[in-house]
Chains A and B, each alone.
Chain A
Amino acid sequence: MLKEIIKNIITKKKVITFPEGFNISPEEAAKIVSFQEKIDRAFSRSLRIRQVDAGSCNACEWECTALTNPIYDIQRFGIDFVASPRHADVLLVTGPVSRQMELALRKTYLATPEPRLVIACGDCTIDGGVYRGSYAVSNGVANVVPVDCYISGCPPTPIAIIKGLMELMKKISG
């Protein structure tokens, strides 16, 4: 261990080790490293996300919570979930947008400073998913606020959410 650390200090090699349980292939791991560099560049090493539940079944929230556990540990990429939309670069919205949450989502969106990016996370954010057509939902986030990127899955796994964030970074920073 100590030897490893000293070697790394000497060679200035940047190692990202993925803990056991973070099931990802070596190629994908390399992509994640470059993704982090993009965050470093575009958001000065810190991408702040505000999660908004717009009527989800709560499985999508638990997957976001899982991102902060020691296995996925999303904070190490410079990403974190923040408590207020005023501190956020990105809104991560889940759920088909229930009618009774529509207003709250709009207000949260308006409270977010530019660039005000929106990620819609989960199948039901795309078109309402299983709830599509119900009187109490508005069949997808795009009907309420503009969406920059979708993550599919019901719920998307934590790794799928990380990949979704990578997509978003690719889109905005090339």
Chain B
Amino acid sequence: MEEIYRKKGVKIREHLNEQYIEVSRKDFKDSCAYLYEKKHSVLRLMFATDERRIDNSFRIYTVFSIPGIDRFFIIVLSLKDDDFTFPSITTEIPAAHWYEREIRDMFGLIPKGHPDLRRLILHDSFPANSYPLRKDWSITETDLREWGEGVKQKEPYNFMEVEGEGIYEIPVGPVHAGIIEPGHFRFSAVGETIVFLEPRLFYTHKGTEKHFEGMSFFDGIKLAERVSGTSSFSHSVAYCMAVERIAGIEITEKAKGVRTLLLEIERLYNHIGDIGNMCAGTGLAVGYAKGAVLKENLMQLNDRLTGSRYLRGINVIGGVTKDVFLQADAILSTVNDVTHGYKDSMRLLLGSASHIERLENTGGLSKDIAQKLGVTGVAARASGINDDIRKAHPHLLYDRLEFESHTMTKGDVFARMMVRAEEAECSISMINALLENRYEGELSVEVMEIPEYSSAIGYAETPRGSVFYWVMSDNEGRPFRVKLRSPSYCNWPAVPFAGQGNIVPDFPLCNKSFNLSYSGCDM
């Protein structure tokens, strides 16, 4: 770090475990590259803000964390004087590629030197030179309608083409055959083998980040819960945490206990459901059915505990609304039953040679590519990257719980299933451990005041990987900017790499093994 600090014009600001390091335009690239190459840090998220109202500048924030250190290093670059460009760091840090394209789409700030400046989030018929996250942006009714109808291409989008003898294209989607979310995939194949795959996502883009700005901090929870259905609870934990950190509140033991417990229940129902779901990809109907029943049992437990099958309505800023520990017996008995059923179904799956053979060596993702693309969660751990926010940046009660973050090396579909299986068992033992203790304190503490123009990061480990919220307040006690980064956003770019070289019919299985959320990614 010293190397960065020694440079001229560096301003440093500290807030809890966040260190903001403001650098000049010419040092920006070097500072990021230094953290990435010399310190082996991980790019957690990157985003821009429109702070022209405050001091006439746009800012680019790049958030890194160094393995083994519970601290976020945030390199900040201010763009003043109407120079709407910034140096791209994609060639040094490939994981930045989508973030920079996103910044271009939403703010009109151009990453100079980025190898691919096509639009990412906004589709072709969205008006050109129109940047939704700028504070002074608005759109006419006609433009909105034309965008929706998709009649005119206002900024062309060219798919990458693979040329050669015998290569043909298979376009799929956005509306798929199953009950899943929309996205477009373009396979270039030779015979059955995938040579290249280009996904086009963001069909479900709902303008969530901009929408946050029009809501109060409190209402924002409802929106955070609806970014990605099956990670509702983790998203709201991360969002509330960010706001609580701005306001400087420490939540009570009890609230921490409830949040940790429900995070693990959310992980459990997802992992068990996902393992079952993979069987749908291999045609093992009995495995699929068993997984679905176990998942349903847990969903009904959620309903009994919180009144919502997706654990919504529990988090508030400053704590939680319900003491689920009062129903400890119900949790224990359901989790016990599910554990039995789950072990039973794992024995069945692992004993089924036809199932396992489809999983092994399918959809392999190498550690190198996973690292370069900044892959997170189950997918990262299956490829041998030991990264888990619960360990890397301990929060809630995770520093007191005993658990391991499991990794595998091969990065294939089988590895991703096994990582899930081990984590599910880990969650079961954590749930049991949490229920053995008593937690003191009120359910929630009152939020007095939210300081103006301050910001903080909130984070959690969803069943898919890490989720981040960066929230900044304005001078009226409302959100000024909310940046959310779901795990699916990091992992989607890795899916084409995992698909390459596989046959097209294996792609659904490969896709299921990642089980990414389109809505979470598209925001």
Residues of chain A touching chain B, judged by Cβ–Cβ distance below 8 Å, are: 21, 23, 51-66, 68-71, 81, 83-85, 95-96, 98-104, 106, 108, 124, 129-131, 133-138, 144, 154-155, 157
Contacts and interface: CB of A to CB of B under 8 A. Distances in A.
A138 B149 CA distance: 11
Contact of B519 (A55, A64, A84, A144): A55
A35 B91 CA distance: 61
Contacts of B517: 58
Interface string B145-184: 0011110000000000000000000000011011111100
Contact of A59 (B149, B179, B230, B303): B230
A130 B223 contact: yes
B292 A136 contact: no
A70 B289 contact: yes
B322 interface: no
A116 B71 CA distance: 56
B409 interface: no
B148 A103 contact: yes
Contacts, number: 148
A99 B144 contact: yes
B202 A103 contact: no
B296 interface: yes
Interface stretch (B45-53, B208-216, B355-363, B441-449): B208-216
Contacts of A63: 309
A84 B177 contact: yes
B293 A98 contact: no
A66 B297 CA distance: 11
Contacts of B147: 99-100
A157 B309 contact: yes
Is the interface on chain B under 10, 10 to 19, 20 to 34, or 35 or more residues?
Answer: 35 or more
Given A21-B296, A55-B203, A104-B175, A133 B228 contact: no
A70 B296 CA distance: 10
B232 interface: yes
Given A56-B519, A99-B144, A157-B309, A51 B174 contact: no
B170 to A, nearest CB: 16
Contacts of A131: 206-208, 211, 223, 226
Given A100-B123, A101-B182, A55 B204 contact: yes
A130 B518 CA distance: 18
B230 A21 contact: no
Contacts of B518: 58
Contacts of A124: 226
A100 B179 contact: no
A135 B179 contact: no
B310 interface: yes
Interface string B327-347: 000000000000000000000
B391 to A, nearest CB: 27
A66 B309 CA distance: 12
A59 B303 CA distance: 14
